[in-house]
Amino acid sequence: MASSTVPIRTDRIINSLPVDSDLRSLMMEYFANFEKTLEYCTALKDCLEHAPTNHSIIESAVKCYDEEAKLVVGTVEKNSVKALEELRRFKAAEEHFVMEFLELKRMAHMRYESMQGKVCARKKTLEKKVESWETWRRVSVAFLVAAFISVLVFSVVAAVKSAKPVIIGLASALTTAIVPLGTWCNNSWKRNKEKIKMTKKLTAIMEIVKAHFYRGPYQQNNPNNKI
């Protein structure tokens, strides 16, 4: 019962995060893969617990072989009937389990490679977004500066024509419009930058946890996986 509530709680937490739908689906896939990986870990645990039993079967086979080797009657094959029987028992006990374990290992490796690629791609996309937002901010600042300079130029031109009331009114109106626009642009940039930074942190955490969890044969096979 408790295990069934974990995915529900995980989904609730992910849905409560202020992230876009792409990252949300990536996080859900990440945790779903993690549950599958736990199945692989359980299989590994069963394998280790099963090992002493299989070891005792091998010991029994060796003992039977030693005892039967002392017998003079019959051929070597006949003398080793019990030993061969024990070895067949070992093979029967091990074969199905090993195949299942290796299949789980293969699937876990495939999921790891797939998720690693998706997280890396997401990180690159976020880095490009940060760069584009930086560019957008510079363009916005340049636009506001240009607009303010235009106001000053217009004021000077109007002053030459001695239209003082028009100058004051228009300059005041333009300045009043520019200041809120600049504030809005700055706040919007900050909000989006914080959102992107948080998203980058989440993807970095996923990448680090995934890499640490699979440290071992998978990382040795793939030299590109670096922390």
Check residue 173 and report its DSSP letter. Answer: H
Q: What's the confidence (pLDDT) of residue 126? A: 73
Q: What's the confidence (pLDDT) of residue 28? A: 76
Amino acid letter, residue 190: K
Angle (nearest 5°) at CA 214 between 99 and 124: 125
pTM of the entire predicted model = 0.45
Structural domain boundaries of the chain? 2-10+23-221
* Token pair listed for 193: 């930058």
* Burial zone of 1 (CB within 10 Å; 0-12 exposed, 13-18 middle, 19+ buried): exposed
Q: What's the confidence (pLDDT) of residue 219? A: 46
Cβ atoms of 91 and 98 within 8 Å: the answer is: no
Q: What's the confidence (pLDDT) of residue 170? A: 54
pLDDT along the chain (227 residues), means of 10: 58 64 73 76 76 71 68 56 70 68 80 78 75 67 60 57 54 57 66 71 67 51 45
Q: What's the confidence (pLDDT) of residue 225? A: 46
Helix (H) or strand (E) holding 203: helix 164-213
Tell me, rounded to whole angstroms, the distance of Cα 198 from its chain centroid: 14
Phi, psi dihedral angles at 125 (to 5 degrees): -60, -40
Q: What's the confidence (pLDDT) of residue 218? A: 46
